[in-house]
Amino acid sequence: MKRDFVRIADWSASELWDALDLALHLKREHRAGISHRDVLPGRTLAMIFQKPSLRTRVSFEIGMTQLGGHALYLGPDDIQLGKRETTEDIALNLSRYADGIMARVFGHDVVEELARYATVPVINGLSDLHHPCQALADMLTIRERRRDLAGTTLAFIGDGNNVAHSLIEASALLGVAFRIACPEGHEPQREIVEAARAGGAAVEVIHDPREAARGADVLYTDVWASMGQEEEAAARRKRFQGFSVDGDLLSLAHPRCLVMHCLPAHYGEEITYEASRAPNSVLFDQAENRLHAQKALLALLLA
């Protein structure tokens, strides 16, 4: 049976731990100069992008090369997902050529539909609702710095968006206490929060960034307007005033608090440039760990 990675909550805690263990192992070996070209020899990953990307495209493409395989970039103008032919037919066609599909899409239903019809594994490289690869890399980053994920308090400052949703689901499975401070009307989806709580997770949704930051082990933020929300950017800039990760917020957190952002960043909005370069900033570790976490994912799904 093929396995997909469409959202974090589709996986069990032990599957996530296995992926994190393998990612750490692959990272250590890669740093030691050990080749992984025998892991996916000659395998191909088809990568569909409806939205732009730096990290996702580059880390998947280089990850496949490092594993001995190959990745194919299909941009918005190439296959015109949902316009030129149906998502079902795209999934069925790509399954005849490629060994796996990675897709960055607008509607989450599109990546779900790809997974339903494809006969090869489908990985969500970001949808409007989830960004599971980001959360996997982020948990790897926190684990490297703090050793124990359980007992860690992650405070997310800003929009209850795709990144927040995946972090909630990953936190719930791995024992991280999650709290988000967002303006009224920008809360994460109620079903996602309630499902995490039903599984026994500590998930708090509040509206005061200072309260969220107090004593936190991780301060995490993301853009106020996500891809596809460009027209709302000006209105959001007003609504999100006070929800910036800056020196003031950092001073309330734990002294060794990690500063995290999935990138790309809008400096001076959701984070100041100074806070992004704080001694405990791990922004570029997160970016690097996309490579190692996704190599683990590819090895588990495509081998």
Residues that bind ligand CP (CB under 6 A): 53-56, 126, 134, 262-264
Q: For residues 213 and 277, what is the distance between their CA atoms, to the nearest angstrom?
A: 18
Counting contacts by CB under 6 A, is residue 196 touching ligand NVA? no
Please answer whether residues 36 and 69 qualify as being in contact, where contact means their C-beta atoms are separated by less than 8 angstroms. Answer: no
Report the residue number, 98 or 126, with the smaller CB distance to ligand NVA: 126
Instruction: Mark whether 116 is an active-site residue.
Output: no
Q: What, of ligand CP, ligand NVA, none, does residue 152 touch, CB below 5 to 8 Å by kind?
A: none
Backbone angles phi, psi at 95, to 5 degrees: -65, -25
Q: What, of ligand NVA, ligand CP, none, does residue 205 touch, CB below 5 to 8 Å by kind?
A: none
Please answer whether residues 131 and 158 qualify as being in contact, where contact means their C-beta atoms are separated by less than 8 angstroms. Answer: no
Report the residue number, 53 or 87, with the smaller CB distance to ligand CP: 53
Locate all alpha helices (DSSP H) within the chain, ordered by sequence.
13-31, 55-66, 76-79, 87-97, 108-117, 132-146, 162-174, 190-198, 209-213, 233-239, 247-252, 273-276, 283-302
Compute the least distance from the CB of residue 80 to ligand CP, in Å: 20
Site string for ligand NVA, 4-23 (x = CB under 6 A): --------------------
Among positions 227, 233, 252, 300, the unique one binding ligand NVA when judged by CB under 6 A: 227
Q: What, of ligand CP, ligand NVA, none, does residue 54 touch, CB below 5 to 8 Å by kind?
A: ligand CP
Q: Show the tokens assigned to 141.
A: 């980053």
Compute the least distance from the CB of residue 58 to ligand NVA, in Å: 13
Task: Enumerate residues 153-192 that contact ligand NVA by CB under 6 A.
Answer: 161-163
Neighbours of 223 (CB within 10 A): 23
Report the residue number, 136 or 177, with the smaller CB distance to ligand CP: 136
User: Residue 146: exposed, middle, or buried by beta-carbon count in 10 A (0-12, 13-18, 19+)?
Assistant: middle
Instruction: Mark whether 222 is an active-site residue.
Output: yes
Instruction: Mark whether 262 is an active-site residue.
Output: yes
CA 120 to chain centre: 21
Catalytic (active-site) positions: 104, 131, 134, 222, 262, 290
